[in-house]
């Protein structure tokens, strides 16, 4: 797999197209790839648990660096077995914190799919590299990088959609609150024009509290809500009542419908994230090209000739 008897001339006739010439450099690439993958997992998990701007920036930067390192790895490491072994470590790094804190069957499946997507990226890079006489990094990147991004996005989409997994589907109270919150403003505006008798209204108030604050009878409010198809106890807040009602209804759906819900949520998150990355493809390609040129200038890797006129990269 490794061959250290390689001349140091910049361009020369060589037969090392499929031989890794430096175990030290391959090891450096592997360590950097696994570390950035693990860092990405850590910050993505923080965003999932408690999102904030700083964590989002750190996660984006970590993923960004991982994509660049993985792409360069797919070019520099020639041995298929070494490439796949490193990719396995990077996949486990990407999944590490997510699996430790959000372990589920869907995440295990997503981890497997992530590995397959990374494998597809490596194959595409190596295939394009073999087909080019003069190496064009940006052209190879345009075929390979979208697959690396797909691998990362699969894992993130699985994390965010797992509450909708058919076996444990549950709509969070915070999500329902975000959906219902605008109703407080709507009710107040409607009360100003239609005199509904709901001047003081909040989804966090119980029916009894709403009735007392607005001088209404609890029984009348309860019957009005029941007329809308909801059953909320007098000591339950509107938010709690809707939360219980929605999740009870979802549990009564048959498995096909629940799978359809999960698939729709996963696809929505997946396409949203892919669209987000798509806006920054140009930046990723730019940094890939700059990183490649810097590594060439520093002597980390170099171009040589295979046969007469075909360029290859060696470490």
CB atoms within 10 A of CB 57: 11
Is residue 147 predicted with pLDDT exceeding 80?
yes
Neighbours of 143 (CB within 10 A): 13
Q: Mind listing the pLDDT tens digit for each residue in 67-125?
A: 999 999 998 888 888 889 999 999 999 999 988 877 888 889 999 999 999 999 999 98
CA–CA separation, 32 and 41 (whole Å): 14
The model's pLDDT over 269-312, given as tens digits with 9 standing for 90+, comes to 899 889 888 888 999 999 999 998 898 888 887 767 665 556 66
Distance CA 125, CA 147 (A): 10
**Beta strands across the sheet bearing 310-314:** 13-14, 302-306, 310-314
The predicted structure's pLDDT at residue 179: 66
Antiparallel, parallel or unpaired: β 13-14 and 302-306:
parallel
Query: Which of 75, 60, 61 is closest to 29 using CA atoms?
Result: 75
Query: If pLDDT is split at 50, 70 and 90, which confidence band does 173 have?
Result: confident
């Amino acid at each position: 797999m490794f061959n250290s008897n390689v001349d140091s001339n910049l361009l020369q006739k060589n037969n090392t197209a499929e031989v890794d010439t430096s175990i030290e450099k391959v090891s450096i690439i592997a360590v950097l790839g696994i570390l950035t993958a693990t860092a990405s997992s850590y910050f993505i998990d923080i965003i999932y648990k408690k999102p904030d701007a700083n964590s989002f920036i750190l996660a984006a930067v970590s993923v960004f660096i991982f994509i660049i390192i993985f792409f360069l790895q797919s070019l520099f490491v020639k041995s298929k077995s070494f490439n796949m072994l490193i990719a396995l470590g990077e996949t486990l790094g990407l999944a590490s914190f997510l699996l430790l804190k959000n372990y589920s069957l869907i995440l295990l499946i997503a981890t497997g799919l992530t590995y397959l997507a990374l494998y597809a990226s490596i194959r595409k890079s190596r295939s394009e590299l073999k087909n080019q006489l003069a190496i064009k990094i940006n052209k190879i990147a345009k075929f390979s990088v979208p697959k690396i991004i797909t691998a990362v996005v699969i894992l993130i989409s699985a994390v965010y959609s797992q509450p909708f997994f058919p076996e444990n589907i549950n709509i969070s109270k915070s999500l329902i609150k975000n959906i219902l919150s605008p109703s407080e403003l709507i009710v107040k505006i409607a009360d100003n024009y239609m005199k509904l008798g709901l001047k003081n209204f909040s989804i966090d108030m119980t029916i009894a509290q709403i009735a007392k604050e607005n001088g209404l009878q609890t029984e009348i409010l309860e019957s009005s809500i029941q007329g809308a198809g909801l059953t909320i106890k007098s000591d339950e807040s509107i938010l709690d009542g809707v939360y219980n009602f929605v999740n009870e209804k979802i549990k009564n759906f048959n498995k096909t419908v629940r799978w359809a819900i999960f698939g729709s949520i996963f696809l929505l998150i997946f396409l949203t994230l892919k669209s987000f990355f798509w806006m920054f493809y140009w930046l990723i390609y730019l940094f890939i090209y700059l990183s490649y040129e810097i590594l060439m200038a520093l002597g980390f890797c170099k171009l040589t000739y295979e046969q007469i006129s075909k360029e290859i990269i060696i470490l």
